[in-house]
A and B are shown apart, each in its own frame.
Chain A
């Protein structure tokens, strides 16, 4: 995940990734795929993984790339290397990064000629407000326009092509159920837009989590944000697979409710964070309605974790918090999977091959430094954590995922 709270891309952000949406709906180019590259903590590995991204991009016959990142400082070494390695292989790119004042590039190269700075704050410094300096739809729109401009400059204008028949490679059906109210009661249920959550799940979860001292599950009503919360670990969607694997088949999704995981350490009071923690009054510590944060009208399913002392700073502790939150979501998934007596909106999402059209890819640079800066890939359920593969332990070798896999929650961010 991102370095500081204001730029961090949550699991929800990747699930609703603005660049993925902008590229997927663009009719002039083919959105060939997404490369997910982890940031390593050894310089040699940063260069190595960047070269592999270049190789993969070339094998995908990429005409141009959009490279997006939610870190700066050492993360920018990976960023500039990927742009360079793509450039060497004749692939022009548009960078998307937080720069401002604090994130000014620490190093660069001759290929680094186009970055969209998605800093949103006046000071140009990271803040502790989740979502404040997030990549938005507007930034994504600029990136797509600039990438077409770059294609034109490299002699591959998007309008001078002989387009052949398009092929649907994969279909993902999303059935979206609208939730109007969330409440506690004796058993978990979804009916007529009301999500009811069983009380007393905390103790069951704690029994198998030795790093967590206690757990609190809470429901926050829309607008009731004048309350203290601990440092944010993640925002994520509530969704489950009904048929097929991530990126295809059928997914059920709840709209109107978002999961928020927060945490603090016992005794020391340490708030888990990388650069700056985001504890405080909720309404002052989150910008709502971003891709990666809850909407103004959303209920928030709040899972607050009290780590045993020291465990708010270990990878295992952070993962235990994500796992615990997901066990709450699992309880909801059990009823969500079989939900058939409620109205829903149907969304059909396609991965489309467009022979003849220019091929554009998205490179997502995510953290894989280990400890608390990490990303995991391909959980069992959309936006989940359980069953996923850790970026750092796979040594940050890049993944290729389809746009639909991204939109079906294949990326989970830790902290």
Chain B
């Protein structure tokens, strides 16, 4: 169907397009799965080049054995103070290691990829960064990918990359502080704890809450009946700046 009568004319009226469904059913028990955790929340190693806060589609490689105190955040889209207190609030690397030890999940990928999704170039994420991260995770034999994003456009970038991973044959879930964004941008599965943007994975230094959010998100990867379904999690946290 032809939508424009004059070439190059841009409408001032926004027309939303919800992307096509992508869904990879998880066929293994979680205890046998290899898990990866990606984030659009601007997490990187302290010795890596910080992200450009006004928009950046590059990514950083983080080995999963990186100690959490070697990680930091560079992100302009939300209040960083929670992540500065505890990086697990956005990128719960310590909790994931505990879950492997506990036997809840099989193993972790050797390395993962993080990016800064705030104000990100949609086309670059769809066509370059997303597919590349998905390919690198798939090559490591990853089964399940969890993802967080900080601000609003971060949730969009996070969802785009998560969709690429789902398309590459992994089962994925976006842990969203802003669930309507993840839903509209076509996240395969969504969990929604009641948390401020910037603390998607739970209150800083509250390990039980962080663990519960990850566990329920993993269970949602296993149990989610269909594309784009959201599970609201009963965990609540508000920060006082």
Contacts and interface: CB of A to CB of B under 8 A. Distances in A.
Interface string B181-223: 1011100000010111110000000000000000000000000
A392 B241 contact: yes
B12 A77 contact: no
16 contacts: A41-B78, A41-B197, A73-B119, A73-B151, A73-B156, A74-B152, A103-B153, A106-B178, A106-B181, A106-B185, A125-B54, A125-B55, A276-B76, A313-B80, A369-B78, A392-B241
Contacts of A197: none
A72 B12 contact: no
A112 interface: yes
A11 to B, nearest CB: 21
Interface in A176-215: none
Interface of B: 12-14, 16, 53-55, 76-81, 118-119, 121-122, 151-156, 177-181, 183-185, 192, 194-198, 238-239, 241
Contacts of B192: 43
Contacts of B198: 41
A77 B181 contact: yes
Contacts of B12: 115-117
B183 A107 contact: yes
Given A369-B78, A371-B241, A273 B53 contact: yes
Contacts of B238: 42
A10 to B, nearest CB: 18
A315 B154 contact: no
A44 B53 contact: no
B152 A44 contact: no
A275 interface: yes
Contact of B14 (A112, A125, A276): A112
A274 interface: yes
Contact of A275 (B13, B14, B54, B239): B54
Contact of A41 (B14, B55, B79, B154): B79
A77 B119 contact: no
A3 to B, nearest CB: 7
A42 B152 contact: no
- Secondary structure class of chain B's binding surface, majority of residues: loop
B14 A99 contact: yes
B181 A108 contact: no
Given A74-B155, A103-B153, A112-B14, 8 more contacts: A41-B198, A72-B119, A74-B197, A113-B13, A115-B13, A274-B53, A275-B77, A276-B53
A298 interface: no
B194 A44 contact: yes
Given A106-B155, A115-B12, A128 B81 contact: no
Nearest to B198: A41
A34 B144 CA distance: 48
A337 interface: no
B184 A107 contact: yes
B29 to A, nearest CB: 32
Contacts of A74: 77-78, 151-153, 155, 178, 181, 197
Nearest to A5: B54
A126 B198 CA distance: 22
A126 B16 contact: no
Given A73-B151, A77-B178, A128-B54, A369 B119 contact: no
Contacts of A116: 12
Contacts of B78: 41, 74, 369
A114 B152 contact: no
B179 A43 contact: yes
A297 to B, nearest CB: 31
